[in-house]
Structure 1
Amino acid sequence: MKRDACNKIIGAFLVFAGIGVSEVTFANDNTQISSQIFTNFSNLQVRDMRSDREGWQLDLKRFYLNLDHQFSADWTLKLTTDVQWQRQQDPTDVWFRHAYLEHRVNKQQTLKLGVAELPWIDYIARRVGYRYIDPSLNPKNQFAGPTDLGVHYSMNTDNFTVAAAAISGGGFKKPRIGERVDFELMGVWHVLPGLDVATGWYEGTRTLDKDENPRFHYAQRWNLALSYLLNNTRLGVEYAYNDNWTRVNQLAPDASDGWSVWASYGFKPGYSAFVRYDVSHPSRRLNPELKQDYFQLGVDWKATRFVTVALVAKKTEIDSLIIDQQQHEIGLWTMWNF
């Protein structure tokens, strides 16, 4: 199994490398090949449990390979492959995290066709930062996915940003078309330089009613965030509420919610300190006592133009009437850009 997965990965890289060489040679620098790698070497301990995942181990959290081709000043093609290899697991298949055509309508408006970034997750990821350590509140808790197949529109002005997406709802790992179109909307008010107030909304079936599966509910998500990002300082808080996010084809309704607060400061060139705290309730109706706390603390160093290294400590605690579990992790996280 591992050998087959590795062969898939190597094959994909050879294909893309071949495309990259030919395009760069004959397209007058209109094509760029780049990659980004997230790894960590960390010690994981779970209280009162024994697991093969514990101890010092290496994780390949993400391996992105990007191809950007510019047809003209207004039209661009973007492809991004995505691979994971977590501890004690086989490598994932090669996913297409991005596969879209982008049309620059004018200086303020952009249209993307294909598997592209969803408005809310992309915006919050850039405000929180440190994606190579962990994703933000929504994707980390499976409240939302980062990209999806569809039509994506955005408009940016000095005072406001608005974005809308009409998508399949199936996500990028197994793109598929459902019985209806899902919608996501986002609006951001740039109150002052660096200070944003943002809100987002999602509604659809997430393809969970495909084929013979019944539809009892619509999946909905509401987001709200207040954040500050200027120079070397980040501050912010985000709230998310999901209604029937995984219960579209299940008779009993359920809901989940959570909030996240984060801060970071660049205390000298190339160095920054960061902290984050999340609280989530995965099942507000069916298991209201279930609660998950997540704490992150670290310092990172931009060692070179290509490599960033972070010393990070994490703690996750899950509580309910029958569960009391704690997980501690400490180690080195790295981001490589080529």
Structure 2
Amino acid sequence: MKKSSLVIGVASAALAMIAAVSGASAQSWTDNITVGGRMYLDVSSSSLEVNGAKSGSKNGYGFDVKRVYFQVDKKFNDIYSLQMQTDVSTVSGVGQSLYLKKAYFKAAFNPAFEVSVGSNEMPWVPYAESIYGYRWLENTLLEQNNTGVRTTFGTSADWGVHTGGKFGTYYAYQVSVVNGKGYRDSSRSSGMDVESRLSAKFDQWNFAVGSYTGSRGNEAYGTATIVTPASGTTPAVYKENKVDTHNAQRFNALAAYTGDRIKAGVEYFTATDWQTASIIDTTAGHTKADDADGYSAFGSYRLTPKYTVFGRYDNVKPSKKLAPWNEGEYYNFGIQMSPMKGISLALIAKHNSFDAYAGSATVKGAKTTTEFNEIGIFTELRY
């Protein structure tokens, strides 16, 4: 998609929205403002081992504030609104900065169509999180990577134009045209990526499919090069240095039952050329082409109004062509307690391992196993 066309379209839509908001009845800027947030905290014992030897700063006991979200919503009227949400992580070595996760202006024209411009939620990951229900304990399938040694395959928010809505009794959709590098990086490229989702809910049954296509922000221009030197007053002739890319593609599917006491579901993805090396590969015959897939099975059972047991298992093969023996595995299990509204506690055990093999696509070399284990008390606070 041409970025110039998109920019013109977004600018026109934004001007129309602003004009409509300006025409609304006068109100104080403090009217219809709500403030909220979430905190993910834990005290735990964890270990990160490479071939049985402890490695890095994830070993030992400690208290973490893994995430702090602060959110402000402003409602102009029944159609127009805006939202800002910050994201802070204080985990050692990971994202020690303040980020704008959401910053968008939205027009909800009717239940079947709303549009927002800025950084907003992507179609797939937030939907999967809403079904799973335990994002405060762990990222969902596309983002889970406690070992830190494999590729992740999605993000929860990005900069662009987001449309979506619900139609009929059962169906919902979202389509986002985005920069492709996630909300922490708003840099430009010469194309935009598209992620979409179509979902359905029949009583307690939930079904969804989704897709992603684009260069993930890698379709860019390098420094122009001189092809004709300047002579006298003749200006130099420059040649564009555009990075040729292959599109990354991803397909997602999810099915889940979310009853009053029982929740059970499965999530699946398959991806092609997701890693940057595959996207910008210029070799003859596209020798760095690659595939990946993975699945997650999760469930929970509410024992009493306050106590719920839960568990989950993931399996991911991140490089089926270039490193076909590499494989990641994750599982967790625990018990959750909700003493009051806005507070959730869980005693949880986690295991994440990744087996990486030296050699080539046809020769299986020595194995390196990276293993992460953690047990602790995790907390979510909402206000």
Q: TM-score range by the shorter chain?
A: 0.7 to 0.9
C-alpha deviation, 1:250, in angstroms: 2.8
In 2 relative to 1, CA 189–306 (structure 1 residues): closer, same or farther, beyond 3 Å? closer
C-alpha deviation, 1:27, in angstroms: 4.5
Determine the C-alpha separation between the residues in 2 that align with 1:214 and 1:27.
45
TM-score where L is the length of structure 1 = 0.88
Determine the C-alpha separation between the residues in 2 that align with 1:291 and 1:222.
19
Determine the C-alpha separation between the residues in 2 that align with 1:144 and 1:336.
25
49-58 or 173-182: which moved more?
49-58
C-alpha deviation, 1:91, in angstroms: 5.7
Once the two structures are superposed, what CA deviation does each residue of 1:122-144 show, in whole Å capped at 9, x if it has no partner? 21110011111111101225100
CA RMSD of aligned residues (A): 1.8
Tell me if the contact between 1:271 and 1:302 (Cα under 8 Å) persists in the aligned partners. Answer: yes
Partner of 1:309: 345
Once the two structures are superposed, what CA deviation does each residue of 1:16-38 show, in whole Å capped at 9, x if it has no partner? xxxxxxxxxx5565111112111
Q: Larger C-alpha radius of gyration, 1 or 2?
A: 2
- DSSP-derived class of the 1:126 partner: helix
TM-score where L is the length of structure 2 = 0.78
Does residue 31 of the first structure (1) align with residue 8 of the second (2)? no
Once the two structures are superposed, what CA deviation does each residue of 1:293-322 show, in whole Å capped at 9, x if it has no partner? 000101111122232111000111212431
Determine the C-alpha separation between the residues in 2 that align with 1:257 and 1:59.
31
- DSSP-derived class of the 2:65 partner: strand
From 271, 275, 278, the counterpart of 2:311: 275
Tell me if the contact between 2:215 and 2:245 (Cα under 8 Å) persists in the aligned partners. Answer: no
| Structure 1 residues without counterparts, runs of 5 or longer | 1-25
C-alpha deviation, 1:257, in angstroms: 1.2
Once the two structures are superposed, what CA deviation does each residue of 1:72-95 show, in whole Å capped at 9, x if it has no partner? 111111000001111x43762211
Once the two structures are superposed, what CA deviation does each residue of 1:231-282 show, in whole Å capped at 9, x if it has no partner? 2322110111111112211341122211000001222112211100000011
Determine the C-alpha separation between the residues in 2 that align with 1:272 and 1:77.
35
Determine the C-alpha separation between the residues in 2 that align with 1:334 and 1:282.
31
C-alpha deviation, 1:325, in angstroms: 3.1
Does residue 76 of the first structure (1) align with residue 81 of the second (2)? yes
In 2 relative to 1, CA 257–91 (structure 1 residues): closer, same or farther, beyond 3 Å? closer
Aligned length: 312
Q: How does 1:41-190 map to 2 (within 5 A)?
A: 41-47=43-49, 48-50=52-54, 51-86=56-91, 88-89=92-93, 92-141=96-145, 142-157=152-167, 158-190=169-201
Determine the C-alpha separation between the residues in 1 that align with 2:176 and 2:70.
24
Determine the C-alpha separation between the residues in 1 that align with 2:301 and 2:109.
36
Q: How does 1:228-267 map to 2 (within 5 A)?
A: 228-246=257-275, 247-251=278-282, 252-267=288-303
Determine the C-alpha separation between the residues in 2 that align with 1:260 and 1:267.
23
286-295 or 312-321: which moved more?
312-321
Tell me if the contact between 2:191 and 2:219 (Cα under 8 Å) persists in the aligned partners. Answer: no
From 211, 218, 238, the counterpart of 1:201: 211
Tell me if the contact between 1:170 and 1:177 (Cα under 8 Å) persists in the aligned partners. Answer: no
- The runs of at least 4 consecutive aligned structure 1 residues that moved more than 3 Å come to 26-29
Determine the C-alpha separation between the residues in 2 that align with 1:233 and 1:122.
21
Determine the C-alpha separation between the residues in 1 that align with 2:159 and 2:63.
32
| Structure 2 residues without counterparts, runs of 5 or longer | 1-27, 146-151, 223-241, 283-287, 358-366
Tell me if the contact between 2:108 and 2:114 (Cα under 8 Å) persists in the aligned partners. Answer: yes
Partner of 1:335: 380
Determine the C-alpha separation between the residues in 2 that align with 1:75 and 1:27.
14
- DSSP-derived class of the 1:127 partner: helix
